[in-house]
A and B are shown apart, each in its own frame.
Chain A
Amino acid sequence: MSEATRRWRRGTLVRDRALSASARSVTFAVPDWPGAAAGQHVDVRLTAPDGYQAVRSYSLARAGTDREIELAVERLPDGEVSPFLVDELEPGDEVELRGPLGGWFVWRPGEQRPVQLIAGGSGIVPLVAIARAHAAADSTAPMRLLASVRTPESALYRDELEQLRATAPTRWHYTRVAPPGWTGPVGRLSPRDLEREVIAGSQHPLVYVCGPTGFVEAVARTLIDLGQTADSIRTERFGGT
């Protein structure tokens, strides 16, 4: 990795937008930002007045070479960093950023294989970047997104994904509460749900699974049981129990 990636840069919050009651999109202007591939993340470092530092990773919601980077952060009520990023940070405030990072949980426009994206909660963020990059590149590789959320209100980027429906259609799955009139199953993604919604292993898809650790592990295990090969599944565990 180059000097450019290793360096901590200052990012200034230039725009923010509520994505749900507990999540916010935050866009930082970063001078000399080298651009990123879809699926990459940054490390964000905060320093308290007493010198104490905390570093957390956040996925980029958009690939490309803009000098602005968009992150989307879900607040964990007992968290150290996420409540600050969601509730406290104001336009003009600065954080330190390192990146773009990662070369494995990445989708590149030259990739021809069909792509199945599977998100749990805020795990949708890097998958939004991938769906956006796929549309921007006019890729002809089939792409689908399966997004598991607790409730209709907790879905992030619903409008943006609706606009990408022609190139990367999204299927929403609800684990607690479904919208009125919903006839599908409600509850954790079951093996039957995954069998029905996910591109079959016989088509050799690349599968990207992202979200809380427990979600990613359960989905990846089930996919292997359903006949997907372990090395065609790329995972990004966000942490938690």
Chain B
Amino acid sequence: MMRPLDGNVLAGPVSGLFAFDATSTRAQCDGCGDVAMIAQAMVYGEPMGYVVRCRLCDSVLLVVVERARHRLLSMPGVRWLRVDTQDDGPAGP
């Protein structure tokens, strides 16, 4: 079985969907309340798309599908996303 990747790998597939790097954005898991960078989530990849799960409770946070003519982003398990507008780099959580 394919083991997970980190949320880092989503940087390409979600680029252009947000005005910022979504992988260094904090999100709260709706399942367990954990707050982490999208880059810290666990990603199960391809062929259908990426399923992004909470690092603690395994809830599905996001689903990302990239096709030649469209992208699909669903956020079934994200309570909120927080964008730091002060700096352009990742601060420590």
Contact = CB atoms under 8 A, between A and B. Distances in A.
Contacts of A237: 3-6
Contact of A1 (B1, B20, B37, B92): B20
B90 A103 contact: yes
Interface residues on B, range: 20 to 34
Contacts, number: 85
Contacts of B75: none
Nearest to B12: A43
Given A1-B18, A5-B16, A43-B12, A103 B2 contact: no
B5 A213 contact: yes
B4 A104 contact: no
Contact of A104 (B1, B18, B24, B45): B24
Interface of A: 1, 3, 5-6, 37, 41-43, 53, 55, 57, 98-99, 101-106, 108, 213-214, 217, 231-232, 234-241
B16 A41 contact: no
A238 B8 CA distance: 10
B3 A235 contact: no
A105 B10 CA distance: 12
Given A104-B7, A104-B90, A232-B92, A241 B12 contact: no
B66 to A, nearest CB: 8
A34 B2 CA distance: 33
B53 to A, nearest CB: 13
A236 B11 CA distance: 12
Nearest to A45: B12
B21 to A, nearest CB: 4
